[in-house]
Amino acid sequence: DIHMTQSPLSLSASVGDRVTITCRASQSLSSHLNWYQQKVGKVPTLLIYGASSLSSGVPSRFSGRGSGTEFTLTISSLQVEDFATYYCQQTYSTSWTFGQGTKVEIK
């Protein structure tokens, strides 16, 4: 299986901060990389697909970049509703995998 490593695993930030989460893959994914948000007690929702395409209805403060083995998710100005856990996911095979998740908490 392709192994996905997210960093950091947790972070504390304030409303208005710029936040960046990194996801590294054990092999090249081209652009087969997605980002999901999961709030406590809720089902995950898609944020970014294809490394950089914003899913429908997702605010433009979210953006994704990268290709190959290194990817980033950036929240340009953190809002209260963005406090959640974020997961990257690779779909470059018939055995998909998620990163460990990054928990974004209020400072």
Partner 1 sequence: EVQLVESGGGLVQSGRSLRLSCAASGFTFDNHAMHWVRQAPGKGLEWVSGISWNSDIIGYADSVKGRFTISRDNAKNSLYLQMNSLRVEDTALYYCAKDDGGISIFGFGYYLDYWGQGTLVTVSS
List of residues contacting partner 1 (CB under 8 A): 1, 32, 34, 36, 38, 43-44, 46, 49-50, 55, 85, 87, 89, 91-101
Nearest residue (CB) to partner 1, 77 versus 93? 93
Question: Cα(14)–Cα(20) distance, rounded to whole angstroms?
Answer: 13
Question: Cα(24)–Cα(75) distance, rounded to whole angstroms?
Answer: 18
CA dihedral of residues 36, 98, 20, 81 (deg, nearest 10): 30
Nearest residue (CB) to partner 1, 12 versus 93? 93
Residue 89: CB minimum distance to partner 1, A: 7
Nearest residue (CB) to partner 1, 83 versus 96? 96
Question: Cα(9)–Cα(86) distance, rounded to whole angstroms?
Answer: 9
